[in-house]
Chain A
Amino acid sequence: MRSVWSLLAVDGGKWVARLLGHAPDGRGTLLAGNGAMGLGAGLLAMPFGLHLMLGGMTLPFLLSTLGVAIFMASLTLLRARRADEAAAVQGLGLLALGLGLSLADPAPLDAGLAIMLLAPAYAGIVGTAGTRRLAVGLGLAGAAVAAGLGQAGFAFGTMDPTAPALLVLGLLGVLIARSAGRVRAETDALAQGERTAYHHLVEAVPDAVLRLAAGGEVVFASASSETLLGCQRYELSGKGLFARLHVLDRPAFLSAIDEACRLGVRRTLEVRLRRDLPGENRVPNFVWIELSLSPVIDAGGAGRHEVVTLLRDISERKDFEAEMQAARRAAEEASRAKTRFLATIGHELRTPLNAIVGFSEMMTTGVAGDIAPVHKEYAGLIHKSGRHLLDVVGMLLDMSRIEAGKFEILPEPFAPESLVEPCLDMVGAMAAERGITIAAEVQPSLPALNADERACRQILINLLSNAIKFSPDGAGISVSIKRQGAHVLFSVADGGIGMGPEELERIGEPFYQASDAMTRRFEGTGLGLSIVKGLVDLHGGRLHARSALEEGTTMTVLLPINGPAIKLGHTGVVTPLHKDQVSQQTPSWQDARRRAQ
């Protein structure tokens, strides 16, 4: 049942391909289908013809034999890929059948005439223009002869009143044949036009277009491949492309082709291909090419594989990537150099500073004997300044450790409210000097916070120091600690000079203080908030700043109650700071213990 159906199907692609041994175009498929149908009809008619022949009537058998011969011949020609001739055999064969029918016996004269007139139409559709003209000529001539004979035959009897109708039928046959020829020509022109358009498309795109066989051999190369690789395109055909591939890229190329064919997946790969430069070149010149492989599986061709490949010159992009990489390496190296510099200079500064601080403190406290009061005052100033410098150096080292990802935090649960008192103590003297009052508000029954307590203290002290520094004398500052969801929220609000949007953007950049003018007004390195930002990041927390010029600043820190999600340890990454405040650090925030030496 199934084979009968495919027999009738005009577009029985696979069946036709098997029959002919190759996949023909649309017309070939049509002809093969028609040929097969004609052959089937002839074979079916043969037994009846045989039966009639035994009854004394030889014509049907002869005609069916002729039909079988015609269609077998056309199929044979199709197998040999001679579609034009196959079409001519079919068209003219039908014509011959009609002629034989009408000449052999006057009875089926009308049918014979109709066949002779329709055969040219069929030939016009499937055959070439020559076949069509031949068929029309022969058809008209045959029809005229047969009609004449018939007329003569009829003349002996009565005049057939349908004879004039035969003339009309003849005319109609001619018209159909002409129209069919026209349709055929148009179709051909359209197909040709489409082929031309595709041809132009392929040749005009700057990317080279190649068709590769399953083994990677080049079957077709577009003209643009000549420009791309500096060679004639025939040089690429067969193994020519593979020979130009950089040896190191060959395995990748082969496996990509294999995958494309076997799995039908699209692949893109970057390879180096040799490009010929004009003149003698001893050293092969390779260009980076991006290959896009798109497998095309021909359903009619017994799974024949082909890979359509686009080649694009990506040397510029590759150069750019290399430059970017070099630039990044340089930047990383510069950053490492900065970190090294800070660490080294920090150590070098600390040793003499310790001596300055220690000896001046000995003089101030009179440990080594009494000195004149004015000298004591000087020693006190030296001591105070030395302390300040030590704090700055300490912050520099902290900052460089944070930036280098070497700052370790040890989260342990502790009560967040316990931070308040020591921090207020630490900044108390500085606030008192300026008549600034600090109000603390702590939410009752806070959960234990899993964080590095020392780091939290430093965060709070830095924020408080900043608030004090940028507040006018006698102002108030408020500190609050409360729970917010899965975080503990610390906030420090002041009524100080505040920051504009631009300054808010840059907040937390090391050494950045809100404005140059302010740097003069407020001393400090601008490191305090950078350290806050770094410590908050290490805890997986967030730092926010809300501020407007002359309206004060509120700094908020959110730390996750359960501690940092990932233990950062040595690999802590500190993201660049955005949003935070103002600056600076004041000398006294340090916790004596951690200030190292």
Chain B
Amino acid sequence: MPKTVMIVEDNELNMKLFNDLLESRGYAIIQTRNGMEALDLARAHHPDLILMDIQLPEVSGLVVTKWLKEDDDLQSIPVIAVTAFAMKGDEERILQGGCEGYISKPISVPHFLETIARYIGPAN
């Protein structure tokens, strides 16, 4: 049973990029483009890690993270933010918002994979 990563990302291309990268390393993937849906999916599938885009169309990734962290069942799942924000203050804001880590865009392939592996190890 491979480790499962849930990707919350509204951009098609980024979704595919993350998806293909993680798949190539053997992770199982759950995709969603919608922050509202993310909570239900997390409850249903209990992924090992959540990759969270911060700039989501309806509800911010930070808010979704807050919901996740308020849920007793889900709060142990590490949340890695993926963000285009690169300002100094943003990093703190993201970490204070409950995210375990963050990756800034544009991603570097090796760094991306390393970061994921640091939290949940290899897929199998």
Decide if the interface of chain A is mainly helix, strand, loop or mixed. helix
* A 526-569 to B, binary, CB cutoff 8 A, 1 in contact else 0: 00000000000000000000000000000000000000000000
Residue of B21, B24, B106, B108 with most partner-chain A CB within 10 A: B106
Contact B86 A362 (CB under 8 A): no
What is the bound-complex CA distance between A594 and B105, given in angstroms? Answer: 9
Assess A597 versus B84: contact at CB under 8 Å? Given A355-B14, A358-B17, A367-B109: yes
* B 63-106 to A, binary, CB cutoff 8 A, 1 in contact else 0: 00000000000000000000111111100000000000000111
Contact A358 B106 (CB under 8 A): yes
Question: Chain A's nearest CB lies how many Å from the CB of B119?
Answer: 19
What is the bound-complex CA distance between A229 and B87, given in angstroms? Answer: 63
Q: Which residues of A contact B88 (CB under 8 A)?
A: 410, 452, 454
Contact B87 A408 (CB under 8 A): yes
A595 at interface by CB-CB < 8 Å:
yes
Contact A351 B106 (CB under 8 A): no
B115 at interface by CB-CB < 8 Å:
no
Assess A390 versus B104: contact at CB under 8 Å? Given A350-B84, A408-B87, A593-B86: no
Contact A410 B89 (CB under 8 A): yes
Q: Which residues of B contact A390 (CB under 8 A)?
A: 106
Question: Chain B's nearest CB lies how many Å from the CB of A70?
Answer: 100
Chain B, 19-38, CB within 8 A of any chain A CB: 20-21, 24-25
What is the bound-complex CA distance between A452 and B105, given in angstroms? Answer: 22
A478 at interface by CB-CB < 8 Å:
no
Which chain A residue shows the least CB distance to B110?
A365
Contact B86 A595 (CB under 8 A): yes
Contact A358 B89 (CB under 8 A): no
What is the bound-complex CA distance between A408 and B107, given in angstroms? Answer: 24
Contact A353 B106 (CB under 8 A): yes
Residue numbers of A with Cβ under 8 A of B are 350-355, 357-359, 361-362, 365, 367-369, 387, 390, 408, 410, 452, 454, 592-597
Contact A595 B110 (CB under 8 A): no
Q: Which residues of A contact B109 (CB under 8 A)?
A: 358, 361-362, 365, 367
Instruction: Classify chain B's interface size.
Output: 20 to 34
What is the bound-complex CA distance between A243 and B108, given in angstroms? Answer: 78
Contact A593 B13 (CB under 8 A): no
What is the bound-complex CA distance between A353 and B17, given in angstroms? Answer: 12
Which 8 A-B pairs have CB atoms at the shortest separation, nearest pair first?
A597-B105, A597-B84, A355-B13, A594-B86, A596-B86, A596-B84, A358-B17, A361-B109
Question: Chain B's nearest CB lies how many Å from the CB of A218?
Answer: 66
Q: Which residues of B contact A357 (CB under 8 A)?
A: 106
What is the bound-complex CA distance between A499 and B104, given in angstroms? Answer: 38
What is the bound-complex CA distance between A295 and B34, given in angstroms? Answer: 76
Residue numbers of B with Cβ under 8 A of A are 11, 13-14, 16-17, 20-21, 24-25, 83-89, 104-110, 113
Which chain B residue shows the least CB distance to A408?
B87
24 chain-A/chain-B pairs, Cβ below 8 angstroms: A350-B105, A350-B106, A352-B13, A354-B105, A355-B14, A355-B16, A355-B17, A358-B17, A358-B106, A359-B17, A361-B109, A367-B25, A368-B20, A368-B24, A410-B88, A454-B88, A592-B104, A592-B108, A595-B86, A596-B85, A596-B106, A597-B83, A597-B84, A597-B86
What is the bound-complex CA distance between A359 and B87, given in angstroms? Answer: 25
What is the bound-complex CA distance between A368 and B85, given in angstroms? Answer: 28
Contact B84 A362 (CB under 8 A): no
Contact A596 B20 (CB under 8 A): no
Q: Which residues of A contact B87 (CB under 8 A)?
A: 408, 594
Question: Chain B's nearest CB lies how many Å from the CB of A422?
Answer: 16
Given A362-B21, A410-B89, A594-B86, 20 additional A-B pairs, CB 8 A: A351-B13, A351-B14, A353-B106, A354-B13, A355-B13, A355-B14, A355-B16, A358-B21, A358-B107, A358-B109, A359-B17, A361-B108, A365-B110, A367-B109, A408-B89, A452-B88, A592-B104, A594-B104, A595-B86, A597-B105
Which chain A residue shows the least CB distance to B91?
A593
Q: Which residues of A contact B21 (CB under 8 A)?
A: 358, 362, 367
Question: Chain B's nearest CB lies how many Å from the CB of A413?
Answer: 15
Which chain B residue shows the least CB distance to A387?
B106
Which chain B residue shows the least CB distance to A386?
B106
Q: Which residues of B contact A410 (CB under 8 A)?
A: 88-89
Question: Chain A's nearest CB lies how many Å from the CB of B94?
Answer: 13
Q: Which residues of B contact A594 (CB under 8 A)?
A: 86-87, 104
What is the bound-complex CA distance between A365 and B14, given in angstroms? Answer: 18
What is the bound-complex CA distance between A357 and B14, given in angstroms? Answer: 11
Contact A596 B104 (CB under 8 A): yes
Q: Which residues of A contact B83 (CB under 8 A)?
A: 596-597
What is the bound-complex CA distance between A365 and B113, given in angstroms? Answer: 12
Question: Chain A's nearest CB lies how many Å from the CB of B21?
Answer: 6
Contact A354 B89 (CB under 8 A): no
What is the bound-complex CA distance between A595 and B87, given in angstroms? Answer: 9
What is the bound-complex CA distance between A390 and B104, given in angstroms? Answer: 13
Question: Chain B's nearest CB lies how many Å from the CB of A589?
Answer: 14
Assess A354 versus B14: contact at CB under 8 Å? Given A367-B24, A408-B87: yes
What is the bound-complex CA distance between A359 and B110, given in angstroms? Answer: 12
Q: Which residues of A contact B105 (CB under 8 A)?
A: 350, 354, 596-597
Q: Which residues of A contact B104 (CB under 8 A)?
A: 592-597
What is the bound-complex CA distance between A390 and B105, given in angstroms? Answer: 10
Contact B20 A354 (CB under 8 A): no
Question: Chain B's nearest CB lies how many Å from the CB of A105?
Answer: 117
Q: Which residues of B contact A359 (CB under 8 A)?
A: 17, 20
Q: Which residues of A contact B106 (CB under 8 A)?
A: 350, 353-354, 357-358, 387, 390, 595-597
Q: Which residues of B contact A452 (CB under 8 A)?
A: 88
What is the bound-complex CA distance between A208 and B124, given in angstroms? Answer: 97
What is the bound-complex CA distance between A371 and B16, given in angstroms? Answer: 20
